A and B are shown apart, each in its own frame.
Chain A
Amino acid sequence: MSDAGPVISRLLSLARPYRGWMLLAGGIACLTILASVALMAVAGWFIAAMAIAGVTTGMMNYFLPAAAIRLFAILRTGGRYFERLVSHEATFRLLAELRLWLFRRLAPLAPAGLADRRGADLAAGLQADVETLQHAYLRLGAPIVVALACGVLVVALLTALHPPTGLVVGALLIAAGGVVPGLARRAAERPGSEAVAHRAALRVAVADFLQGGTDLRAAGAVGRRLAALDALGDRFADAQRRAALHGAFAEAAVGLCAWLAVWGAALLAAGAVTAGTLAPPLVPALALAALASFEAVAPLPGAMQRWGEVMAAARRLFALADRPPPIGPFPARSPAPCDDGLDFRAVRLRYAPDGAPALDGLDLTIAPGCHMAILGPSGAGKSSIARLLLRFWDYEGSVTLGGHDLREYTPEDLRRLVGLAAQEAHLFNATLRENLRVAAPEAEEEALRRCLALAGLDEVLGELPEGLDTWIGEGGARLSAGQARRLVIARTLLRAPLILVLDEPTENLDATTSRRLLAALAREREGRTTVLITHDPAAARLFAERIVHMEAGRIAG
C-alpha cells in the first residue's frame, strides 16, 4: 500500500499527547514477556542441573535459581495486569480525543460540505470507523512494537548462550511475527475492508428500514427489504468470517513455528552437547526459552488481521476531515449592524455546480423592522434565502445586513443575529427542556415557558405529566408534526435574534392554531425585521405588512 506511510504518521501524530501512557504500557509488556522467557529458561536449566547433580555429586546451591523462579513468576503475573490497565487507559483517552477531533473537523463542513453524505451513513460510518481505529493502537501498534523489542532482546540472549539456536529461533520468530501475519494480512485485507464497507451499508439500510417503516409497509415492500437486509447481513458476516479464518490460521501457524523452534533448539543444542561445546543443562533451558519467546509474537496475526480494516477506516476518516470548508474565508471580527434591514442584489445560489440555480438573480430589499412575507410555490427558492442568510451555502451577488456585506460577519455573529426556524430543523432525542436549552443554555425556566407560550405550546405543556422534562423521542417523534414545528419556533424565539426568519411555520397546523400562532408572533416581533416564508397566501396576508411573490429563484412581483 503506497499511502500507508502518511496514514500511519498521521495516526501517530494524533496519538502524540498520549505517548507517555503508551510507552509505559509497552515497557511493562516487554518486561512481562522477558520474565516469562526467563522463568521457563531458568526452570529448564534448574531441573537439568538438579538431575545431573542428583546422579553425580548430590550437591547444588538451589536457593538462587529457586528464588529467581519465584521472582520471574511474580513479575510475569503482575506485569500482565498492569500492562492491560495502562494500555486500555491510553486507548480510551485517545478514543475520546478522536471523537472530539472529528466533531471539530466536521462542524465547519455542515451542511454544504457534507451534502453528498447521508446523515445516518455519515454518523454510523464514522462511529464504526472511530471504533476500528481504537485497534490501531491497542491491538496493532503496541503488539508490533513490543514484539520487535522483545524479539531482539530474546534472540540476543539466546545467541549469547548458543549462537546457532539463537539464529534458528530468530528466523522462526521472524517467520511467525512477520511472514505469517504478513501473508495473512494480505489475504484478509480484502475481506476486512469489505466487512467495514458492508457494516456501514448495513447501518444505513437498518436505519432506513426503521425510519421508513410506514412507507415500506404501505408499499408492501417490507418482505423485499427484509430479504435485501438478510443478504446484506450475510455478505457482511461472510466477509467477517473470511477475514477471521485467515487470522485463525495464522494463529495456528504461529503455534507451529513455536514448536518448530523448540524442535530446532533441542536438535542444535543436543548436537552442541555431543560436540562438547555446550553445557548439558542448557539444552532444556534453550528449548523452553525458545517456546516461551513466541509469546512476543503471538498477538501479531490478530493484529495484522486488523491492518486492512484500520487503514481503510483511517483513510476514510482523514479524507472526510480533510475536506476544505465549503464556505469562507470568514473575517475574525464582525462589524456592528447599523439596523436590522436586509438587501439582496443579483443573488444567485446553486446547490450543485451542475444543478439548476435555486436563486437566480434575486433582488429584494427588506426595510428595518418590516414584517415581510415571501410567498411562492415549493421549489421557488424561498428556503434558499434562509440558508443563504446563515451562510450555509455560498452565493454570487451581494447581500447586506444592517448596512454591511454578509461576508463581513463571522458565522457565529451571523447566527446570533439571524434566527431561523427552519423546515428541516431537527429536534433532539432528549427532553423538552433540553431541546430548548440547546439554543440558550443559560435560559431561565421563565423564558422557556414564555417562548413555549408564544409558540402556542402552553396548553400542550400543561397536559404533559412530566412538563418540561417530557422526553420527546427521536426527531421529536412523541410530538405531533404540528407540535414539533412549534417547538422549533419556540427554540428560535428563545435566542431573541435581531432578525427572525420563519420557514413555513404553519405547516401541519390547523386553521385556528395557525391564526393564533401568527398573531402571537406578529405581536412578539413588533418593530423587528421578520421574514415569513410560506406558500400559503392567507398566512402571508394575516401576518405581513409587505408580501412579495417568488418564482423560479427570483421575485416575481
Chain B
Amino acid sequence: MIDAETEERARPGAEAERWLKGRIAAATGSALRRAMWLGALASALVVPQAWLLAHAIAPVVMEGAPIGRALVWLTPVLPLLLARLALAHAADRAALGAALRLKGDVRAALLRHLAALGPARLGGRATGDLATTVIEGVDALEPYVARYLAHLGTLAGLPLLILAVVLSRDWISGLVLLFTAPVIPLFMVLLGQGAERLNRRQWRRLARLSGRLLDGLQRLTTLKMLNAEAGEESRLAAAAEAYRTSTMAVLRVAFLSSLALEFFATVAIAMVAVLIGFRLLDGALGFEAAFFVLLLAPEFYAPLRQLGVDYHARMEALAAAERIAALLGEPGDAPGAATPELGRAISLRCRGLRFGWGEGAPAVDGVDLDLRPGEITVLVGPSGAGKSTLLSLLLGFVSPQQGTIEVGGAGTSVHDLSALAPDHWMRQVALVPQRPHMFEGTVADNISLGAPADGEPATGNPAPRRERVRAAARLAAADGFIAALPQGYDTPLGEFGQTLSGGQVQRLALARAFLKQTAPLLIMDEGTAGLDRATEARVTAAVRELARGRTALIVTHRLATLHLADRILLMEAGRIVEEGTRAELLEKGGRFAALLGEGSLAA
C-alpha cells in the first residue's frame, strides 16, 4: 500500500488538477476571469487608501497641523471604501456563479457515467461511497473555484503593485518584501506536498467511514436480530478514532505550511517596522513614506496568507477531483447508437457467449442460445449457474468478452446487440428483475416508472396514467393487496419496501412490466418467486397473457412456471447443458429429468 503510493506520479494531484482545470474552462466560461479581475481591482484600492491616510496623519503627527488639513485627505477615503465593497461583491458573485456551473456540470457527468456503467457493473459497489463522491466530492470542488482560483488574480496583481510602490518610496523595505515573498510559496509547496499525499489517504478513509455509518444504520434491524449492536458500536468508535488520529496527522503537517507562511509574513512586517524606525531616527526617511509603507506591508502578505488558507481547500478539492476523474475514467462498454425499427417479432441469436466478472471461472462460459418470436423459453439451473449474468448480457448491461448476440428484427434485418442504442434496446424489453428496487414515493409512483411522462406520446393505451397503473396492478394480481394498504395506491413505500413482503414487491415489479405493453421481448428473473399458490396461479396466467405474441425468456426455480414453457434450457456452470420441451427432456432422462424426479418441490 505504502509502496504503491510512493510509486505514484512525482507530483501527486497534478493530473487531477489538469483534469479539473479542463472541466472548469469548459463549464464556467468567462465568469471566472471576471471574478479574478474584479477581485484584483478591489484589492488594489488599498494602495490609494493607505496613501491618503498617510498624507492625512503625517502633518498632524510631525508638525501638529490642524485637523482641517487631515480632513482634506481623509474625505476621499470614504468613496474608495464603498467602491471596494461593490467590486468585491461583484467578484464574489461571479466566482460563486462559476462554481455553481462547474458543480452542475461535474455532477451531471458523474451521474450519466454511472448510468452508462450500468447496474451490473455497479452491483458490488458500496452505494454510500458512490453517493459521497457525487455529493460531497463535487461540493469539495467549489472552494477551488470560488476561493483558490478566484483569488489568484489578487495574488498575481497586488503584491507586485505594492512592491513597485514601496520600492519607489523606500527601497530598503522593498527589498525586505522582495526577498521574503518567494520563500513563503517555496515552503508552502514543500510542506504542502507531504500533506497532499496524506490528504488523499484521508479522503479514502472518510469515504470508508461514511460507508460504515451508512451500513451500520441501514442494517440496524439486522444487527439487533443478532444482538450485535455493541460490536457495531465498538467498530464505529474504532473507525472514528482512526479517522481522528489520521486527520490530526494530516493537519499537523498541513498547518505547518501556514505556520511557515505566518512566521515569514509577521517577521518581515516586524523587520520593516524596525528598519524604518532606525532610518527615521537617522532622518533618512520621512514619516509619511514610513507610515505608508507600514500600512501596506501587511497587505503585501495578505494574498499569500489567503493562498495559505485556500491551499487546504485546494488539496481537498484535488483529492475529490482525483476520485471523480478516476470514476469518470472507468471504462464501460461503448454504447451503440443504432435505433432500427425492430418490429413486434424479435428474435435473439447468441453464439459462443463468454463473460467473467474477474478471476476464476467465467460466469457464462460458451453459451449458444436462440430465442424465437412468440415462444416462451424457460431457463432453469442451480443458483450460481450464471443465469443472472446471462440475462445481464442479453439486456446489454455488459458486453460479452467473447461471442455475439444478434437481434433479429422486422423482416430479415439482423443487428448486433452491441451496435444498438441501449435506450432503444430497453424499449423493446419488459423486464422483471430478480431484486426489484422500491423507490422513495408512493405505490403508484413505483409502478408507473415505466409509463411515458405526461406530454410524451402515449404508446398504445390512451387511458390516463392512474387508470393504466391500476390496470397493470390488476394484471399482476397486486390490486387486491394495494387496496388493502392504509392509503391504497398513495401509500408511501418505506426502506426497500419494508412494509411490503417479498411477494408483494415481486408483484409490483410485475405491474411495472405489464405497463410496457408494446415491448416485444419479455425477460423475467424468477418473477413468480415468493407468491402463494393461489396468487401464483393468477400471475402465471397473466404472464402467459403478457408473453403472448412476444419473445419471452423466464428464469425460474419454480417448476410450476415450467408449464408455461414452450422450450426449457438447463444451465449449469456457465453452460446450457440441456435443451428441449418438457416432454423431450423428461424422455431423455438426463439432468433435467433427474432434477424434476428428485424435485419434490414440483407443483
Contacts and interface: CB of A to CB of B under 8 A. Distances in A.
Interface string A96-108: 1001100110110
3 closest A-B pairs by beta carbon, nearest first, are A377-B532, A378-B503, A482-B383
Contact of A214 (B70, B114, B423, B433): B433
A172 interface: no
B303 interface: no
B557 A511 contact: yes
Interface string B69-102: 0110010011001101100110011001101100
A527 interface: no
A516 B92 CA distance: 69
A423 B501 contact: yes
Nearest to A60: B281
A510 B561 CA distance: 12
A210 B131 contact: yes
Contacts of A538: 600-603
11 contacts: A46-B274, A81-B256, A100-B236, A210-B125, A212-B438, A237-B107, A252-B84, A283-B60, A392-B224, A426-B222, A515-B599
B226 A219 contact: no
Contacts of A66: 274, 277
Contact of B431 (A40, A209, A214, A460): A214
B484 interface: yes
A473 B124 contact: yes
Best-surrounded residue of B119, B450, B499 (most CB of chain A within 10 A): B119
B535 A377 contact: yes
Given A47-B291, A110-B220, A377-B534, A120 B214 contact: yes
A267 B530 contact: no
A54 B267 contact: no
A283 to B, nearest CB: 5
Of A70, A248, A392, chain B has the most CB atoms within 10 Å of the CB of: A248
A123 interface: yes
Q: Report, as a range, how many residues of chain A touch the other chain.
A: 35 or more
A215 B437 contact: yes
A80 B123 contact: no
B262 A77 contact: yes
B502 interface: yes
B233 A104 contact: yes
Interface string A331-371: 00000000000000000000110111000000000000000
B502 A416 contact: no
Contact of A118 (B270, B440, B501): B440
Given A226-B115, A416-B227, A425-B222, A51 B243 contact: no
A156 interface: no
Contacts of B219: 119, 426, 428
Interface stretch (A21-29, A85-93, A306-314, A400-408): A85-93
A119 B118 contact: no
A259 B217 contact: no
A241 B94 CA distance: 11
A474 B220 contact: no
Contacts of A100: 233, 236-237, 240
A122 B217 contact: yes
Given A51-B290, A73-B267, A203-B131, A351 B499 contact: yes
Interface in A202-249: 202-224, 226, 229-230, 233-234, 237-238, 240-241, 244-245, 248-249
Contacts of B388: 480
B74 A266 contact: yes
B333 interface: no
Interface stretch (A9-17, A143-151, A269-277, A445-453): A269-277
A354 B384 CA distance: 43
Nearest to A75: B266
Nearest to A71: B270
- Secondary structure dominating the interface of A: helix
B365 to A, nearest CB: 13
Given A274-B60, A422-B225, A39 B601 contact: no
Interface in A411-469: 411-412, 415-416, 420, 422-426, 428-429, 438-439, 441, 460, 463, 465
Given A92-B248, A127-B210, 8 more contacts: A43-B270, A215-B449, A226-B108, A240-B139, A263-B78, A274-B65, A284-B291, A535-B503
Given A111-B498, A412-B227, A80 B77 contact: no
A110 B263 contact: no
B226 A439 contact: yes
Interface stretch (B16-24, B49-57, B190-198): B49-57
B287 interface: yes
B88 A255 contact: yes
A535 B498 CA distance: 19
A220 B267 CA distance: 65
A266 B53 contact: yes
Given A44-B294, A206-B135, A515-B601, A507 B529 contact: yes
B598 A103 contact: no
A287 B57 contact: yes
Contacts of B125: 210, 473-474
A218 B512 contact: yes
B437 A214 contact: yes
Contact of A219 (B62, B139, B512): B512
A424 B251 contact: no
Contact of A213 (B122, B221, B361): B122
Given A54-B281, A477-B124, A539 B504 contact: no
A73 B84 contact: no
Contacts of B53: 262-263, 266, 287
A70 B269 CA distance: 10
A259 B81 contact: yes
A383 interface: yes
Nearest to B596: A511
Contacts, number: 503
A509 B388 CA distance: 13
Contacts of A240: 100, 139, 142
B215 interface: yes
A29 B211 CA distance: 35
Nearest to B382: A510
Contacts of A511: 557, 559, 595-596, 598-602
B220 A52 contact: no
Interface in B280-294: 280-283, 286-287, 290-291, 294
A120 B559 CA distance: 36
Contacts of B526: 481, 508
Looking at B71, B225, B481, B485, the one whose CB has the most chain A CB atoms below 10 A away is B225
Nearest to A391: B224
Interface in A29-71: 39-40, 43-44, 46-48, 50-55, 58, 60, 62, 65-66, 69-70
A284 B293 CA distance: 12
A293 B515 CA distance: 69
Nearest to A466: B359
A122 B220 CA distance: 11
Contacts of B67: 267, 270-271, 274
Contacts of B244: 89, 92-93, 95-96
Given A207-B131, A514-B601, A230 B240 contact: no
A168 interface: no
A252 B88 contact: yes
A7 B521 CA distance: 58
Contacts of A280: 60-62, 64
B237 A535 contact: no
A534 B380 CA distance: 21
Nearest to A441: B231
A474 B526 CA distance: 21
Nearest to A282: B61
A335 to B, nearest CB: 18
A478 B124 contact: yes
A539 B100 CA distance: 58
Contact of B81 (A218, A234, A260, A513): A260
Contacts of A39: 266, 269-270
Nearest to A122: B217
Contact of B100 (A78, A223, A237, A376): A237
